[in-house]
Amino acid sequence: MSSLTFSLNDGNSIPWLGFGTGTALYSKDAAAAVKSAIETGVTHLDGAQLYRNEESLGDGVKQSGIAREKVFITTKLAETPDGAIKSTLETSLKKLGVDYVDLFLIHSPAVAMKEGKLKQWWKEMEQIKKEGLAKSIGVSNFTVEHLQIVLEDATVVPAVNQIELHPYVWDTASQIYSFCREKGIVVESYGALTPIFRAAGGPLDPVLVSASERLSKESGISVSSGQVLFKWLIQKGVVVVTTSSKVSRIKEALSTASLPDLTSDEIVAIETEGSKLHKSALMYYVKQVQEHKE
């Protein structure tokens, strides 16, 4: 079990590995998967109003018997909120069966941008933090432009920006990453294993194999390519959100934090080879934004 956490800009901290209840568990009963993840050692659970399974996420936490203060729960605002943001969060809290969430994110800037409401939404988020309904507030799928708009009038800097982040989007996502680092915003990654599951056979493969072989030799345990990708993110100070129905995979992910570090040459190779192929699973518009600006 890994207890590695990253410090947030508001004084709170976040466990480096989050168990996601989107994608594979979208609209499904997540209780058993959440309970299993907690029993395996995961304390960070990543949900969303959009995933339509907040009740079962809450059920999984209850069934595990873990104390509320020992878990870190995230939920995210639906792209089109039904009424005031605060009331949508209050509905989520009821579904989750908790008095507060540790992190509340604006899931996507798209609708707010279209309606010119991004700053207004953020003001509502700040009020939610003030009232203690969310210990930390942040955003998801925000580009540098979206962050700049929010920061113009913000009294609270977003604690987190959760984006698609892996070597095959590094060519464009690195700009968001660098801006966030500069502003003290922790980056969370989803889709971290895309180079293995959605883009196998790409230029990164030999680098991952070589790094996993070296780490296996050095640590005396078998290290997978997936762990190399997670290690790369950890060393960049990035929180990883991932999902697996297999206990062995969750254990493997958790053990990544205690593996030896990647060398600076390996990190350069991962980013260099990663930049040779652009493969976005979900945050596809970042590439479009870049192309439009060039």
What are the backbone dihedrals phi and psi of residue 152, each rounded to the nearest 5 degrees, phi first? Answer: -55, -45
Q: What is the pLDDT of residues 227-241, one digit of tens each?
A: 999 999 999 999 999
Q: What is the pLDDT of residues 64-105, one digit of tens each?
A: 999 999 999 999 998 777 779 999 999 999 999 999 999 999
Give the per-residue pLDDT at 146: 97
Active site residue 51: yes
pLDDT at residue 287 greater than cutoff 90: no
| Structure confidence at residue 293 as a pLDDT band (50, 70, 90) | very low
Instruction: Say if CB 185 and CB 9 are below 8 A apart.
Output: yes
107 is in an annotated binding site: yes
* pLDDT for res 82: 73
Question: What is the pLDDT at residue 230?
Answer: 98
Residue from 162, 201, 183 nearest 283 by CA: 162
Nearest 5°: CA angle at 131, between 115 and 104? Answer: 55
Active-site position among 26, 51, 190, 284: 51
The pLDDT assigned to 21 comes to 86
Q: CA-CA distance, 35 to 238, in Å (whole number)?
A: 25
pLDDT confidence of residue 53: 85
Give the burial string for 21-47 (b: 16+ CB within 10 Å, else e).
bbeebeeeebbebbbbbbebbbbbbbb
The pTM (predicted TM-score) of the whole model is 0.94
Tokens of 51: 């995933």
What CA dihedral angle connects 16, 57, 156 and 84, to 10 degrees? 160
Tens digits of residue pLDDT in 146-205: 999 999 999 999 999 999 999 999 999 999 999 999 999 999 999 999 999 989 999 999
Average pLDDT taken over every residue of the chain: 93
Tell which phi-psi region holds residue 83, choosing left (phi > 0), alpha (psi between -120 and 50) or beta: left
Q: Give the domain extent around 226.
A: 5-293
For 257-275, write each residue's pLDDT tens digit. 999 999 999 999 999 999 9
What percent of the chain lies above the pLDDT cut of 70?
94
**pLDDT band, residue 52 (cuts 50/70/90):** confident
Say yes or no to pLDDT of 121 above 50. yes
Q: How far apart are CA 177 and CA 189, in angstroms?
A: 10
Amino acid 25: pLDDT: 63
Q: Quote the tokens at residue 87.
A: 């009331």
State how many domains the chain has.
1
156: CATH: 3.20.20.100
- Confidence band for 27, pLDDT divided at 50, 70 and 90: low
Q: Identify the pLDDT of residue 24.
A: 67
